[in-house]
Structure 1
């Protein structure tokens, strides 16, 4: 069991880390301030991988008017299991005027893994959130496709206790990867969400996807003001590049700030 509880508050023009409690091998690198008013936080899991029976739990509270960008230094890896389930649960709470950018590196699910991830996002009325998840199933470059194992990914988004999105992906071996109603033979599936998006923004993003996606299958949907973008492909770097382009376009419109790429992405 490893846990991390974070709390961020607005103090003048800055966002400060107020709460930082951890249990087990889960840590937060010291707060970084590469741009005014936003706290960049890098979550570290020193073991580098998650095995059967492990549970990671992250809680982040973004208080009124605070602005936080959270990322990771590398991929999260769920290793082969002898049968026990490995889990990661993220609880993200945003108060009025809070802004959270939840932008982790990819998750790699090894063949034979038994794993589940859940991300729950709770929004106040005018909170802004951009988040993504990039999933890589198996190790096809090493000749190890996801032929066996189980993986479930759940995403829940509520605003003022009213559900905005309930999304669940379940993969059980190669059959689900290859079904037409599954991943159509692809090994990378990715989802990005953003609140506060308008129809005009959606039209521009669809044009951008048509131009930049290439052979990656993409789609963008707007539910009220919640944008959901999905990618299917075979390269996590391509999916992340597409999402980073969307993030760079939306950030000035939703957060009032130009894109500031975390330094850890370039190392």
Structure 2
């Protein structure tokens, strides 16, 4: 679509603008707001824990798009957040602005929040800046996973140029507990086979659990293995962090799914198709 309000203006491509916010209390939904291409669905589930499924109706992200997701569970509540499908960051014109995604997560005292989006697939010349921030109470239980796929192996895609800035911050009881800044550009991709960088992988993931006693689960997660997946597991001071990489998105997805099932002792959200 073109936006040309005045004949003298240069043609400008339409851009995505979307906001979806959900607040869940201990007794159920307290607030739901959605605007533009961002939608939040609450499907019927068999579990006692409700699920929120975020959806970007534009079908993907390109230069200049903006999405804002916010998920909050109040004291003693429980909530699972996910996405309806893989998010896709498509090609951007040279010199174009980044697509921007903001994810804000909040868990009150005694609450449980699982943020389990499906993978983000990046295409050649994509530009994406994403910021995920979690604010959790000292005794809250917070689990997250993030997967990034640099092109689809089954489609013969090899990514040579893109820009990804993906930053995660977790604050527990007002104190910074975890920060993970990830930057991928053409320079790093040129060295993708370096064992200190991607080591030839095109799919990477981080899973983190922040809860009292989380470190004790490390011994359950370490034995999990999948062919072609390399992973490291660390547990300390109420934190469990797993980082994994694979030559394609499918084996990584299977590994992450098994890790999440082991940590949660429950099935994944229904929208996850394995």
* TM-score normalised by length of structure 1: 0.89
Runs of at least 5 residues in structure 2 that lack an aligned partner in the other structure: 1-16
Query: Partners in 2 of 1:75 and 1:30 — Cα distance?
Result: 18
Question: 2:63 touches 2:127 (CA, 8 Å); kept in 1?
Answer: yes
Equivalent of residue 81 in structure 2, options 58, 64, 70? 70
Query: Partners in 1 of 2:156 and 2:220 — Cα distance?
Result: 39
Is 2:32 the partner of 1:20?
Answer: yes
Runs of at least 5 residues in structure 1 that lack an aligned partner in the other structure: 252-257
SS where residue 201 of structure 1 aligns? helix
Instruction: State the 1:95 CA deviation.
Output: 0.4
Alpha carbons of structure 1 residues 32 and 21: separation in structure 2 relative to 1, 3 Å: same
Alpha carbons of structure 1 residues 156 and 39: separation in structure 2 relative to 1, 3 Å: same
Equivalent of residue 30 in structure 1, options 28, 42, 45? 42
What is the match of residue 8 of structure 2? none
Equivalent of residue 7 in structure 1, options 23, 41, 48? 23
Query: 1 or 2, which has the higher helix percentage?
Result: 1
Query: Partners in 2 of 1:65 and 1:176 — Cα distance?
Result: 47
What is the match of residue 118 of structure 2? 105
SS where residue 190 of structure 2 aligns? helix
SS where residue 132 of structure 1 aligns? strand
Higher Cα radius of gyration:
2
What is the match of residue 232 of structure 2? 219
Query: Partners in 2 of 1:24 and 1:116 — Cα distance?
Result: 19
SS where residue 243 of structure 1 aligns? helix
SS where residue 263 of structure 1 aligns? coil
* 1:128-143 to 2 correspondences below 5 Å: 128-143=141-156
Question: 2:54 touches 2:82 (CA, 8 Å); kept in 1?
Answer: yes
What is the match of residue 255 of structure 1? none
What is the match of residue 237 of structure 1? 250
**How much is the aligned-residue C-alpha RMSD, in angstroms?**
1.6
Query: Partners in 2 of 1:130 and 1:198 — Cα distance?
Result: 10
Query: Partners in 2 of 1:7 and 1:176 — Cα distance?
Result: 43
Question: 1:8 touches 1:18 (CA, 8 Å); kept in 2?
Answer: yes
* 1:193-204 to 2 correspondences below 5 Å: 193-196=208-211, 197-204=213-220
Moved more, 141-150 or 182-191: 141-150
Q: Deviations over 1:203-234 (max 9, x none)?
A: 2221x23xx23321100112311111011102
Alpha carbons of structure 1 residues 199 and 66: separation in structure 2 relative to 1, 3 Å: closer
Query: Partners in 1 of 2:177 and 2:107 — Cα distance?
Result: 15
What is the match of residue 88 of structure 1? 101
Query: Partners in 2 of 1:234 and 1:25 — Cα distance?
Result: 32
Give the number of equivalent residue pairs.
253
Runs of at least 4 residues of structure 1 off by over 4 A?
Answer: none
Instruction: State the 1:199 CA deviation.
Output: 4.3
Question: 1:171 touches 1:177 (CA, 8 Å); kept in 2?
Answer: no
Query: Partners in 1 of 2:64 and 2:137 — Cα distance?
Result: 34
* TM-score normalised by length of structure 2: 0.87
SS where residue 177 of structure 1 aligns? coil
SS where residue 265 of structure 1 aligns? coil
* 1:52-67 to 2 correspondences below 5 Å: 52-67=63-78
